[in-house]
């Protein structure tokens, strides 16, 4: 039985992990590779990307590590051009880079506001700017943007810039899906809810008494009784990128254990 991404090239931005364990991008890169893809693993931290590539190689998969800052157009273009020269085409673009910084309108600095929008939203604009032309010309391709439940819900944290940035990712997803549908290019988003990844221990744990309290309280908020994992997000993304989802575009899919369906 042929694997879903056999002979496909998948470009994953944010393929490293924010710390020990499995972040969303790292799990996604490994998931695509396990399903037959050649994975271009891109991260601002080259060592983090190389760690992901090493895992893929140990499992018998194919991958190459790249370093790039997703807020820099030239960095992204260099990766895209190198990958096209090596592989000929990019079949899937997976945008995973994200950051949270706490602060509502009275507390957050203007610099923090702009930084969060640049990393979460402008990065999607820039990667798509450089990848979509090739997909349009070939009349084939899929884009998966990792958004957040914060795009559509108050999640309990005062990170105004993150809400705004992820809402922008959702609407960019919808707009690009409809613009590129005539060219047979699909664009979808995954909205993770409460997920237990290394990132929350770095960027959210400060909102709780300690890390154990954070995990306990976040678990209790999920209707299914426990936070999701990076693998839950990765499997949803791989489905949307695959031919199994060939009639799905413009969707922002909650992967949240039911959180988006409840009131209060």
Catalytic residues: 163
For CA atoms 197, 193, 10, 167, the dihedral sign is negative
Closest C-alpha to 187, from 221, 237, 255, 232: 237
The dihedrals phi and psi of 180, each to the nearest 5 degrees, come to -100, -5
Q: How far apart are the first and last CA of the chain?
A: 45
Cα angle at 98 between 218 and 117, to 5 degrees? 115
Closest C-alpha to 145, from 112, 97, 212: 97
Integer Cα distance of 77 and 92 in angstroms: 16
Neighbouring-strand partners of residue 77: none
Integer Cα distance of 56 and 65 in angstroms: 11
* Ramachandran area for residue 97 (φ above 0: left; ψ -120 to 50: alpha; else beta): beta
Distance, C-alpha 168 to centroid of its chain:
14
Integer Cα distance of 170 and 188 in angstroms: 9
């Amino acid at each position: 039985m042929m694997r879903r991404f056999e002979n496909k090239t998948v470009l994953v931005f944010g393929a490293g992990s924010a710390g020990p364990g499995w972040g969303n991008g790292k799990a996604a890169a490994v998931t695509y590779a396990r399903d037959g893809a050649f994975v271009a693993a891109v991260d601002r931290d080259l060592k983090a990307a190389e760690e992901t590539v090493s895992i893929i190689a140990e499992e018998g998969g194919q991958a190459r590590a790249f370093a790039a800052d997703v807020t820099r157009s030239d960095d992204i273009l260099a990766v895209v051009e190198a990958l096209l020269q090596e592989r000929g085409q990019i079949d899937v673009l997976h945008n995973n880079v994200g950051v949270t910084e706490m602060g509502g309108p009275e507390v957050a600095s203007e610099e923090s506001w702009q930084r969060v929008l640049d990393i979460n939203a402008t990065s999607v604009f820039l990667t798509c700017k450089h990848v979509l032309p090739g997909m349009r010309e070939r009349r084939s391709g899929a884009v998966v943007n990792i958004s957040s439940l914060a795009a559509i819900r108050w999640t309990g944290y005062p990170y105004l810039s993150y809400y705004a940035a992820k809402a922008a990712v959702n609407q960019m997803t919808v707009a690009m899906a409809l613009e590129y549908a005539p060219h047979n290019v699909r664009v979808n988003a995954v909205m993770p809810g409460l997920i237990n990844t290394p990132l929350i221990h770095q960027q959210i744990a400060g909102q709780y008494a300690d890390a154990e309290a954070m995990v306990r309280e976040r678990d209790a908020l999920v209707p299914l009784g426990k936070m999701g994992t990076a693998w839950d997000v990765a499997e949803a993304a791989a489905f949307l990128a695959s031919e199994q989802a060939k009639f799905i575009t413009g969707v922002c899919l909650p992967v949240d254990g039911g959180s988006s369906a409840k009131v209060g």
